[in-house]
Amino acid sequence: MQQRRWRWLWIWVGVLVAGCGQVWSSNGTPPPTREATSPLFGYTLLPPSLTPSVWPSYTATPLVTLDSASLTLTPIALYLRASGPTCYETPIGSLICLGQVYNGLQVPVEQVVITVQLHSLDGQALGSGDAFLARTLLPAGLTGPYRILFDRVPEGFGSASASVRSGQLAENTSARYADLRIREIAGTFTNDQYQVSLSIRNESPAAVWRISVTMMLFDKEGRVTGFRQVDLDDERQLRPGESLAMTIKAIPQGPNTVAFSTFAEGQLAPN
């Protein structure tokens, strides 16, 4: 197994240095729930000059471990579509899988849980993992990213599929969630990271706290190549009409990153 791991790592490094071709990933037969690809629609294109020659790998922090036995498929999950996932092997032998969930309903949803299933080359199940969507509230017609980290690449791994396990209709959202607007100012590539400067404005009638800002990276096919989520300190609040300037950085997992998208979430602060 150790010898096999080094062999995959050598292939992975070769792809990075070459800067072209296909990344070792889950490009097998897409699952029935896969969202139709809509390359770069609604995303902000990165300037061509931001294409790096070397693609580093980011070691992700595992998400909350969920008890699979306690989760059951909910009716809401049938109306949510999971794209991807695209999976990347890290230098330490783990496997990170990234993708998105699209809300095709006319109402927002929350508490969305995604299941990623790993398959062998001949389609046999090798294991699975669950994670919450990295977007607390998923508005109608929008997408949110997910990330699942497996401790190791299973023997014989060939592809992966994703499905939405559960979700809930979000009620009384105007009294719980903030109306935050993002204005993207500039994007650069520096020190192996994409860096985006943006401004967040509170359009809510009350102060906002527990603010979270997320940036997603995409390749030319619209697949998620990485994302970064930053949680502001609870003491940092935005009054109605107040803006906050900040910079967020993200390291792509895969090559050919050409676009990004950002969103911000927050809760109405208690009086």
Report angle CA 231, 234, 237 to the nearest 5 degrees: 100
Please state, for a pLDDT cut of 70, what percent of the chain lies above it: 72
Question: What confidence score (pLDDT) does residue 46 get?
Answer: 56
Question: What's the chain's average pLDDT?
Answer: 76
pLDDT of residue 40: 52
Specify the pLDDT at position 146. Answer: 94
Q: Topology of 173-268 in CATH?
A: Immunoglobulin-like (2.60.40)
| pLDDT value, residue 244 | 93
| Residue 49 backbone dihedrals phi, psi, to 5 degrees | -70, -10
Evaluate whether 268 touches 236 at the Cβ level (below 8 Å). Answer: no
Confidence of residue 45 (pLDDT cuts 50, 70, 90): low
Is residue 20 scored above 80 in pLDDT? no
> What residue spans define the domains of the chain?
2-43+54-169, 173-268
The per-residue pLDDT for 38 is 45
Per-residue pLDDT averaged across 117-138, rounded? 93
State yes or no: pLDDT of 259 exceeds 50. yes
Higher-confidence residue: 39 or 200? 200
Per residue in 202-234, pLDDT (tens digit) is 999 999 999 999 999 888 888 888 889 999 988
Q: What is the pTM of this model?
A: 0.70
Mean pLDDT computed over 123-152: 93
> What is the chain's alpha carbon radius of gyration, rounded to the nearest angstrom?
19
Q: How far apart are CA 9 and CA 26, in angstroms?
A: 16
